[in-house]
Amino acid sequence: MDAVLVGTTLSFWVIFVAELGDKSQLMALTFATRFKVWPVLIGITLATAVVHLASVGIGFGLGAALPTGWIALVAALAFIGFGFWTLRGDTLTDEEKSKAQRATKSAIIAVGTAFFLAELGDKTMLATITLATDHGWFGVWVGSTLGMVAADALAIVVGRALGRNLPEKAIRYGASALFFLFGIWLAIDAVRRLT
């Protein structure tokens, strides 16, 4: 049970940080200006649960097949890469903006479909795969799903309260710094396992 709690907690915070300033937050805010908040959050939750379930399946399979020291080293490099990716910033493409604007049917289906497609190959999916290589799949799945939904809900609440004047640069720098710290921590752990 402790392993599930550790996997859930770690995954929650890693994915929460990964979402800060991500295009998913921009999509959540865009959808929330068009639809009621609850259907938007339900759509985000359903899409995230499906994508992250596939992610933990991939990560769990890799973790069982590869030595943990090397996995930790690759994870460290991945998190440092995520730090640079986050530092670079993320924006919605014109196609993603038009999908958010066109959605007129069920809000849950529109939001869920858009989020499912946007998250495929995104850094949060890759981070979830990375976490699942070293932690239990269930805890990582629950934590990563809750972390993403919490970050997107925060974007909706803060975005509605402050309008479009969010301190995007400060959020991006803070999230990047946390990714670098996670990467360094994982690198130290990898060196300890390999020596």
pLDDT tens across 111-160, in order? 888 788 777 767 788 888 888 888 888 999 999 999 999 999 988 887 67
Residue 166: per-residue pLDDT: 53
Cβ partners under 8 Å of residue 188, min gap 6: none
Report which of 89, 115, 111, 81 is spatially closest to residue 21, judged by C-alpha positions: 89
Q: What is the mean pLDDT of the chain?
A: 78
Interval 27-51 mean pLDDT = 84
The total of other beta-carbon atoms located within 10 Å of residue 129's CB is 24
Q: How far apart are CA 8 and CA 33, in angstroms?
A: 31
Full 3-state SS string of the chain = CHHHHHHHHHHHHHHHHHHCCCHHHHHHHHHHHHCCHHHHHHHHHHHHHHHHHHHHHHHHHHHHHCCHHHHHHHHHHHHHHHHHHHHHCCCCCHHHHHHHHHCCCCHHHHHHHHHHHHHCCCHHHHHHHHHHCCCCHHHHHHHHHHHHHHHHHHHHHHHHHHCCCCCHHHHHHHHHHHHHHHHHHHHHHHHHHHC
pLDDT at residue number 147: 94
Model confidence at 67, pLDDT cuts 50, 70, 90, reads: low
Count of other CB atoms within 10 angstroms of residue 120: 12
Q: Pick the more confident residue, 46 or 182.
A: 46
Mean pLDDT of 155-175: 68
